[in-house]
Amino acid sequence: MVLAGGIGGARFLRGLKSAVPDADVTVIGNTGDDIHLFGLKVCPDLDTVMYTLGGGINEEQGWGRAEESFAVKDELAAYGVGPEWFGLGDRDFATHIVRTQMLSAGYPLSAVTEALCARWQPGVTLLPMTDDRVETHVLIDTADLDESQRGEGGESRKAVHFQEYWVRLRASVDAHAVVPVGAESAKPAPGVLDAIADADVILFPPSNPVVSVGTILAVPGMREAIAEAGVPVVGLSPIVGDAPVHGMADKVLAAVGVESTAAAVAQHYGSGLLDGWLVDTVDAGSTQAVEDAGIRCRAVPLMMTGTDATAAMAREALALAEEVSA
Ligand code: GDP
Ligand code: CA
């Protein structure tokens, strides 16, 4: 069982599938990044996992479809219909149309995800964390924005959708808080709690600890179910050498008062949740601090440079799981 965000989660899953091809893998996907655009429901993290494992991903980019074209986006722009900062390609649009059509017909997101996966055959059971609407919002100070970003109105604290913060603003201003709106009343999707209870091992891939794994853990019952599953819980650090490997995870970590170090992220999850934690070899000096926090820690190469390197990371995570359960 793996809790996954987008790119980091998806790439790790590809390595895990390669390391243990016969394993039954259930993935709980983050839906806090979901956004309604052009009347369509877009689920970036679920789609990144589905496309990556199903062979449809744009490999260089890490998200979106391979061999994509942007005729619809150009046509929307010609009508002056935005937002123009969120890139949806023609092939990708089809996914969102099918999803939205099924949701409008009354199917829950979990059933829709299953239907989309029937085409992509990702080789894992992909479950959204919840069928309920959860939307991550980021609190920013409009005074921090430059004029082109600011728009109308005075200076004040403002909550923006996570995608607006991440994609439009490129996390260029401080995040003062990260709020998974709707999480408090969300229920785990059908099958999620059973999958946790049935798991042999629970892995946190190198996904964003705040807006990916953190959002999944914010669904009531999720954290408790994982802590009480009685199986090893092992995570892999998305922070290498005191910085995120890609992206701006440091910004949202700062918003929750966590330093961008491999050890601080482990302590943020805490020994109540994590039994084991892998840091990169460059962070070998921090293993003691993690162990002092009651979490078994090893330093191994954690750069997902290819499927073989990522499979080796997955094997290390499973070995550590074995070790902590002994
Ligand atoms: P997102 O939803 O696309 O942002 O993806 P995730 O939440 O799954 O993961 C993003 C995180 O993965 C970022 O914080 C990156 O630092 C981390 N990451 C990306 N590539 C690698 C890698 O090769 N190794 C490690 N250790 N972390 C990585
Ligand atoms: Ca994401």
CA of 310 to the centre of ligand 1 (A): 12
CA of 105 to the centre of ligand 1 (A): 35
Q: For the segment 151-175, what is each residue's pLDDT rounded down to a tens digit?
A: 666 668 899 999 999 999 999 999 9
Nearest-CA residue for ligand 1 atom 5 is 6
Atom of ligand 1 nearest to the CA of 45: 2
CA of 326 to the centre of ligand 2 (A): 34
- Characterize the bridge pairing of strands 40-42 and 125-128: unpaired
Q: Which of 3, 16, 50, 207 to mutate to test the pocket of ligand 1 (most atoms within 8 A of CB)?
A: 207
Q: Which of 145, 114, 140 is nearest to 127 (CA)?
A: 114
Residue 75 confidence (pLDDT): 97
For range 182-193, the mean pLDDT = 98
Please identify every residue whose CB atom is under 5 Å from ligand 2, which is an ion: 5-6, 33, 45
Q: For the segment 243-270, what is each residue's pLDDT rounded down to a tens digit?
A: 999 999 999 999 999 999 999 999 999 9
Name residues contacting ligand 1 (CB within 6 A). Answer: 5-9, 45, 206-208, 212, 236-238, 240, 244-247, 249, 302-304
**Burial of 139 (C-beta count, 10 Å sphere; 0-12/13-18/19+):** middle
Query: Residue 149: which pLDDT band, with cuts at 50, 70 and 90?
Result: confident
Could you tell me the domains of the chain?
2-126 (1.10.8.240), 135-183 (no CATH), 185-325 (3.40.50.10680)
Nearest-CA residue for ligand 1 atom 12 is 8
Nearest-CA residue for ligand 1 atom 11 is 207
CA of 210 to the centre of ligand 2 (A): 10
Nearest-CA residue for ligand 1 atom 21 is 245
For range 19-41, the mean pLDDT = 97
Nearest-CA residue for ligand 1 atom 25 is 238
3-state secondary structure of 27: strand
Query: How does the average pLDDT of the chain come out, rounded?
Result: 96
Residue 153 confidence (pLDDT): 65
Q: For the segment 210-256, what is each residue's pLDDT rounded down to a tens digit?
A: 999 999 999 999 999 999 999 999 999 999 999 999 999 999 999 99
Identify any residues that bridge with 140 across adjacent strands, giving them in sequence order: 158
Q: Over 80: is that where the pLDDT of 183 sits?
A: yes
CA of 288 to the centre of ligand 2 (A): 30
CA of 118 to the centre of ligand 1 (A): 26
